[in-house]
Amino acid sequence: MDTTLIEIENVSVFREQTHILRGVSVRIPRKRHTAVLGPNGSGKSSLLKLLTRDFYPSVEDQGHQGTVRILGESDWEVSRLRRRMGIVTPALDYEFSSGRTGRMTVTEAVASGFTATRLKEFGPSVDQAMADAIAATIETVKMSDLSRRTLSTLSTGERRRVMIARAIVHDPDIFVLDEPTNGLDMTARALFLDILDSITKQDAMTMVLVTHHIDEIPPAMNHVILLDQGRVTFDGPKADGLTSPRISSLFRADVHVDSREDGWYRSEMR
């Protein structure tokens, strides 16, 4: 049985005259937690948008168009695909911070993950099994004491943890995070990363983390893709990718990278 979750073959994406991605090919098998690392403007978020069907491969001058296959399929109805994925982004978090969506309680917001909807009116009819999963997932992100609070009354860090719970409550095949700690203070960021670390140790889903921070990559995430100016410059084991020469070249700076005894990496400018 083919266990490949994501296959991107020779895909380019451009807007007007600007190439955002250039001939990108990536393969992510099941259970290979993968970090996509690169500086701002490298094309990381655009790569993610190929997975969420916000972007599609562009047709190049010679008529070539690359292929994106997710769970073995290249043609997806978007809402059906998103029920097979869990997604956390700062933009999605912002959508849940105000208006009718912001008036949802933590429990209602997490329940909406079953249907990939953003209003409680379109959420699922919750049975006992779903209720148990919702409660357990809220406990996982340490939000049980706030489960009746509305999202608009939460801090950014608290709401971002709710977004994790919403993303994983339905046991998705793929859990995708795009710059998930943006806007978090030091304490909220540390708690958020601790939760991600615990999730990567589970076998139920495959995590894809898009970031430009080396110290956000959990120890159990052992594969990295380095992206620079829309091109993949490295795709392989974390220990081979997160080296001082590679990261210095990627960020065009003199960067020292080392791994800590607990498996986390750290970097500093020299």
Domains of the chain plus CATH, in order, are 1-78+174-185+205-270 (3.40.50.300), 85-171 (3.40.50.300)
The angle that helices 156-168 and 186-200 make with each other, rounded to 10 degrees, is 10
**pLDDT for residue 108:** 94
pLDDT at residue 1 greater than cutoff 50: no
pLDDT tens digits for 179-228?
999 989 999 999 999 999 999 887 778 999 999 999 999 999 999 999 99
Give the ranges where the chain is alpha helix by DSSP (H): 44-51, 78-82, 90-95, 99-102, 106-111, 128-140, 156-168, 186-200, 238-241, 244-251
Q: Say yes or no to pLDDT of 78 above 80.
A: no
* pTM of the entire predicted model: 0.91
Closest by CA position to 147, among listed 182, 181, 105, 183: 105
DSSP 59: B
- Given this model, what pLDDT does residue 115 score? 87
> Left (φ > 0), alpha (ψ -120 to 50) or beta: where does 165 sit?
alpha
> Averaging pLDDT over each range in 33-47, 60-74, 80-94, 115-129, which range is the top one?
33-47
Please give the single-letter amino acid code of residue 19.
H
Among residues 39, 32, 17, 5, the alpha carbon closest in space to that of 230 is found at 39
pLDDT greater than 50 at residue 57 = yes
Rounded to whole angstroms, how far apart are CA atoms 66 and 140? 39
pLDDT in tens, 169-181: 999 999 999 999 9
pLDDT > 90: percent of the chain: 67
Which segment of 1-15, 30-44, 159-173 scores lowest on mean pLDDT?
A: 1-15
pLDDT recorded at residue 231: 95
Q: What is the mean pLDDT of residues 67-85?
A: 84
**What 8-state DSSP symbol labels residue 58?**
P
Task: Quickly state the pLDDT bin for 126 (edges 50, 70, 90).
Answer: confident
